[in-house]
Structure 1
Amino acid sequence: MANLLDHGILILGSLFMLLPIYIVLQTTSTTDLETMKNGPGLLLGDQLDENFTKAMFEASGFSGENTGLSMLKNSMILGIGFAVGKIVIGMMAAYALVYFRLRFATFAFWLIFTTLLLPLEVRILPSYEIAQKLGLLNSYTGLIVPLIASATATFFFRQFFRSIPEELVEAARIDGAGPVKFFVDILVPLSQTMIAAMFIIMFVYGWNQYLWPTMVTTEEHMFTLVRGIKQITQVLEGNNVPEYGRANMLALVAILPPVLVVLFFQRWFVKGLTESDK
């Protein structure tokens, strides 16, 4: 009886969370005029294919270059580049802090960790000025590189590296493994679960970025999905009929990649986070 009650609560909670997504799906299956007239409903219409085609293959701006496919590509490049860059930088910083004999290693770590107190909004103007002076606007480099330094990844990898037995380090040293070989052949394979956990966190964070892409991308062919959806809602203000079907279809498309990443890495996610605390 207790199990039945627990499962019932979980099912009700899941349905409660999925209801808004279903309503968004319903608005993508009806015409925009019908949505304006009747509002969201529960019955699916017959405009799903048309709205999908319009969202993915028709441009919404003035240049004709920001189709749903192009914005999806830009979001994927931003999300993957953001996650991979943060993981690489975080692992290298943690490796240096744990295994190199640095006089001020502890001070350097806490200095890095305090950057968590400075959100993107605090440092966005100097970051934009540097990106502008280096000519990084409207480029993938400008989207990714200024944001890849990660105190979060450095902290978790540092905790994980400290949990590795010292005997393993001594054995590698006796076998003649240098710092690079020890890092590549031993630490990286051992860190697979941690890498998976960090990839999920950083990919979702990079995928959902709106403020920074808005600052550094002014050309429509560089717009991400989050940026493009906002543009559609801004353009359609006034006397025009809002394209609810198109905008909501892009919103559903924007949900799918983070969900798929979480489902793919879910076996390693909790394990990677718990293994760092040993």
Structure 2
Amino acid sequence: MVERHVWLSVFCHVVLLVGAAAVCMPLYFAFVAGSLTVEDVQQVPFPLLPRDHFVQNIVTAWNEGDFGQLYINSIIVTVGIVVGKLVVSIIAGFAVTYFRFPFRMTAFWLIFISLMLPVEVRIIPTYEAVADAGGPLRSFFEAIGLTGLLANTTGYRLDAALQWNMVNTYSGLILPLIASASATFLFRQFFLTIPDELCEAAKLDGAGPMKFFWDVLLPLSRANIAALSIILFLYGWNQYLWPLLFTTEKGMYTAMIGLKDLIPVADARPAWNIAMAAAFFVMAPPAIVILLMQRWFTKGLVDSSK
């Protein structure tokens, strides 16, 4: 039974209102700045009420930053990261939960420990690996003498054929980010809550591991997949450091990089109104995804905690 106290309810509502104000106040000031002109932005004190230039500033920001192409790039990269992370993580969680093989738990704990190694820590070796993806194969073939043998007998340059550079490509932006230790851990923990009787019943019905995976585990994991998809979508869309480092052609920039380029720098025109207006349509896709899937997000978090 839940006891109701008037003062407790008042206190809870005050805390919620203060929290909502702390979250919404920066958005409000960004909206106000996005509705001003350049001259209005430089006023002291800063205007507290919006003006009527918001739509005009959004159109200007969209055209100046060429956000049509940047949006396409961000959507492709984000969807690729979400799908890749889900596929790799759910298969890895399935393997470490239901299969018995040597060093199974060692592999799991190595995956878990990698949570302490974010992209920022391993950014340089990751860049080197993706910028020269064929390097390990070239070193291996050179070590066994295959490269020289082919060059002497057939004239085929194996080392030249293995010059794989994924800079300024969608695969280079997606593949290094599809491994997720946290998602693997969450799927494993969810699979551990599934009764063993379901697995035994599947065996009695003659179902193999993959049929059990497709017909039993995946349907039961829909809420978790939906909740993780939202988290991973936010992660992929808000990527900044990796696209900034890995893209040198403007045609491969993401929306985050385009937004950064609109921020005024020293001795430049202080067009903060254009940058603030752009911030709203850059953060629109994650906000729409959360609004449309908030029921699945809550259901996934609640189901995974049972």
Query: Normalising by the residue count of structure 2, what TM-score does the alignment of the two structures yield?
Result: 0.82
- Residue in structure 2 matched with residue 73 of structure 1 by the alignment: 72
Contact 1:52 1:249 in 2 (8 A): yes
Describe how 1:97-176 pairs up with structure 2 within 5 A: 97-133=96-132, 134-176=164-206
Q: Name the amino acid aligned to 1:249.
A: A
How many aligned positions are there?
269
Contact 1:159 1:277 in 2 (8 A): no
Secondary structure at the counterpart of residue 165 of structure 2: coil
Q: Name the amino acid aligned to 2:30.
A: V
Q: Take 1:41 and 1:18, find their aligned partners in 2: how far apart are those partners?
A: 17
Contact 2:60 2:274 in 1 (8 A): yes
Measure how far apart 1:128 and its partner are: 0.7
Q: Name the amino acid aligned to 1:214.
A: L
Residue by residue, what CA displacement relative to the aligned partner does 1:72-97 show, whole Å, maximum 9, x if unpaired? 22222222221221111000001111
Q: Take 2:32 and 2:198, find their aligned partners in 1: how far apart are those partners?
A: 56
- Residue in structure 2 matched with residue 64 of structure 1 by the alignment: none
- Residue in structure 1 matched with residue 238 of structure 2 by the alignment: 208
- Residue in structure 2 matched with residue 27 of structure 1 by the alignment: 33
- Residue in structure 1 matched with residue 59 of structure 2 by the alignment: 53
Q: Name the amino acid aligned to 1:51.
A: N
- Residue in structure 2 matched with residue 90 of structure 1 by the alignment: 89
Contact 2:61 2:278 in 1 (8 A): yes
Contact 1:33 1:241 in 2 (8 A): no
Establish whether residue 199 from structure 1 lines up as the match of residue 229 from structure 2: yes
Contact 1:225 1:250 in 2 (8 A): no
Q: Take 1:171 and 1:264, find their aligned partners in 2: how far apart are those partners?
A: 36
Secondary structure at the counterpart of residue 201 of structure 2: helix
Contact 1:68 1:250 in 2 (8 A): no
Structure 2: segments with no counterpart, 5+ residues: 1-5, 133-163
- Residue in structure 2 matched with residue 63 of structure 1 by the alignment: none
Measure how far apart 1:30 and its partner are: 1.1
Q: Take 1:277 and 1:53, find their aligned partners in 2: how far apart are those partners?
A: 44
Q: Take 1:39 and 1:96, find their aligned partners in 2: how far apart are those partners?
A: 60
Contact 1:78 1:143 in 2 (8 A): yes
Query: Structure 1 pair 248/176, CA: closer, same or farther in 2 (3 Å)?
Result: same
Q: Which moved more, 1:201-210 or 1:155-164?
A: 201-210
Measure how far apart 1:259 and its partner are: 2.0
Query: Normalising by the residue count of structure 1, what TM-score does the alignment of the two structures yield?
Result: 0.90
Q: Name the amino acid aligned to 2:288.
A: L
Measure how far apart 1:183 and its partner are: 1.2
Q: Take 1:188 and 1:68, find their aligned partners in 2: how far apart are those partners?
A: 36
Identity of aligned pairs, percent?
44
Structure 1: segments with no counterpart, 5+ residues: 61-66
Contact 1:82 1:147 in 2 (8 A): yes
RMSD: 1.8
Secondary structure at the counterpart of residue 138 of structure 1: coil
- Residue in structure 1 matched with residue 160 of structure 2 by the alignment: none
- Residue in structure 2 matched with residue 181 of structure 1 by the alignment: 211
- Residue in structure 2 matched with residue 262 of structure 1 by the alignment: 290
- Residue in structure 2 matched with residue 18 of structure 1 by the alignment: 24
